[in-house]
Amino acid sequence: MSDRSPVALAFDLGSSSVRAVVLDAALRPVAAARRSTAVRQQADGTATIDVDAYVDAVVSCLDELHETRALAGVRTVAGSCQWHSLIPLDADHRPLGPGLSWMDTRATPPPGVAPADPASFHQRTGAWWHGLYWPVRIAWLRAQGVSARRWAGLPEYLALRLLGEPATSVSAASGSGAMDTIECRWDAEALDLAGVDEAQLPEIAPDDWRGRLPAEYARRWPDLATATWSLPVGDGAASAVGACCVPGQTLSVTMGTSAAVRMICPGAPDVADRVWRYRIDRTRSILGVAYSAGGVLYQWVTELVGDDPTDAELSTLAPGAHGLVVLPFHAGHRAPLPGSATGTLHGLRLSTTPLDIVAATLEGVCHELADGAALLCRPGTATPVLGGGAVSASFWFARRLAAAFGGRVLRTVYPEVGALGAAMLATGLTPADQPERVVATDAEVAAMAEAGRRHRRLRALLTNLPLDG
């Protein structure tokens, strides 16, 4: 019988919840705690985080695991945390108000201000001059009268509160849009555009940085008193690692609250116009295309139509048989499209059913992800590996994605793929369980391809994206 003794504790710090997972030496979960978190959203694009309440949720997870003695034996602590959040701080690192979630779409570039060479800026930072990223967000908040002395994201604020270190990993910093992701340092032009200097941002720590709990928390969770902590890494980087992606052979397709398709690469290769580049560490980059609405659309659409269909019910519909086209931009869009983009449901008839609308909405996500993958590599040259709670919960969804990707994908058995990846990075361990194979029929592939062509035609009419996707 294998040893199930705890070895690592890994956090998956997402938009809708905080998850803390205790893992054994085979990186199989042996205990877990979860707390829901809330993003305050309003119709004007506001999406803010009560960052101290978020820290309290992390602490509460640790208290629960401590009470059950689940932390005994843990030697390493790691975390995967959402990219792109921003928190204004005073000189003592206290929040000056709520933090901006990645879902906040209000920030707009100041009039007449832009990078001297946008293409060079994109190649250097891997990001764009766009309201998702720190340079525009900081400039926008300063224009609103926010007089912060320092700036941080949620990963850095958690490290500060739990470890007493106002530092960031190169992975977390790379999602800010203010870092030169080739040289792995804050980008001078990005900071100048934001109107800040390097001293106002967290220090970018070396890859081998390790910390320990301060005395207050060591007394509270004595089983973690001698454990080493890594700084949180970006959730997309952790998810790609957790999916066991191999450069040139596999793609990571993650469906959490949001959705993304990503590829791991050595070094810092050039990026195409609609592809971003962030960092896993100083030796590896991650290229990708992300979408603001992923699994969250399932909750939205089932609440909208008042029905929560089973996989068996959804499977009665062939791909695209509903005749609907959904552009799934309900939560806005990631760069380079404007964040204020909205969703579209086209093709309604009196015969349209709630089941049709649910299926079409989720198929719209599948089409976007398949088109995003085509920007990263030639279709058929890399096997997609599905991860995240949405595809773990629904085999139908995984099969539709398989059809969109040409007939075959792999699906990880871990719903907490971000926590798994963070643990792999911190410990160097490899999970014992391998992804399972999901195959769609030729008929499903053909039907999904035809539906994808309708999807791209409508998207070309309503956005500035070309027809070829």
- Give residue-wise pLDDT tens across range 297-316: 998 999 999 999 999 999 99
- Span 73-90, mean pLDDT? 97
For 20-87, where are the alpha helices, taking DSSP H only? 51-67
- Span 337-355, mean pLDDT? 90
The proportion of the chain whose per-residue pLDDT surpasses 90, expressed as a percent, equals: 84
Nearest to 237 by CA among 198, 187, 276, 292: 276
Contact 234, 80 (CB under 8 A): yes
What's the confidence (pLDDT) of residue 157? 97
327 DSSP β-pair partners? 344
pLDDT in tens, 211-237: 999 999 999 999 999 999 999 999 999
Nearest to 99 by CA among 169, 40, 164: 40
Residue recorded with tokens 């926010």: 146
- Span 282-292, mean pLDDT? 95
What's the confidence (pLDDT) of residue 2? 61
- Span 418-437, mean pLDDT? 93
What's the confidence (pLDDT) of residue 469? 47
Q: Radius of gyration (Cα) for the chain, nearest Å?
A: 21
Residue 403 clears pLDDT 90, i.e. is over it: yes
Residue 81 clears pLDDT 70, i.e. is over it: yes
432 DSSP β-pair partners? none
Q: What is the mean pLDDT of the chain?
A: 94
Residue recorded with tokens 């390493």: 76
Domain boundaries, the chain: 8-233, 245-411+435-462
Nearest to 255 by CA among 416, 132, 377, 101: 416
Which residues fall within 8 angstroms of residue 338, CB to CB, at 6 or more apart?
131, 332
Residue 21, SS3 per DSSP: strand
Contact 395, 311 (CB under 8 A): yes
Calpha distance 469→459 (Å, rounded) = 9
- What would the DSSP string read from start to end of 282-338? SSEEEEEEEES-STHHHHHHHHHHT----HHHHTTSPTTTT--EEE--BTB--TTS-
- What would the DSSP string read from start to end of 432-460? SSPPEEEE--HHHHHHHHHHHHHHHHHHH
Which residues fall within 8 angstroms of residue 378, CB to CB, at 6 or more apart?
none
User: What CATH code is assigned to 245-411+435-462?
Assistant: 3.30.420.40
- What would the DSSP string read from start to end of 381-393? SSEEEEESHHHHH
Residue 75 clears pLDDT 70, i.e. is over it: yes
Single pTM value for the model = 0.91
Mode of pairing for the β-strands spanning 76-81 and 233-234 = parallel
Token output for 172: 């977390």
What's the confidence (pLDDT) of residue 294? 86
Residue recorded with tokens 């009268």: 145
- Span 16-36, mean pLDDT? 95
Kindly indicate whether the domain formed by 8-233 is annotated with CATH number 3.30.420.40.
Answer: yes
245-411+435-462 matches 8-233 in CATH topology:
yes
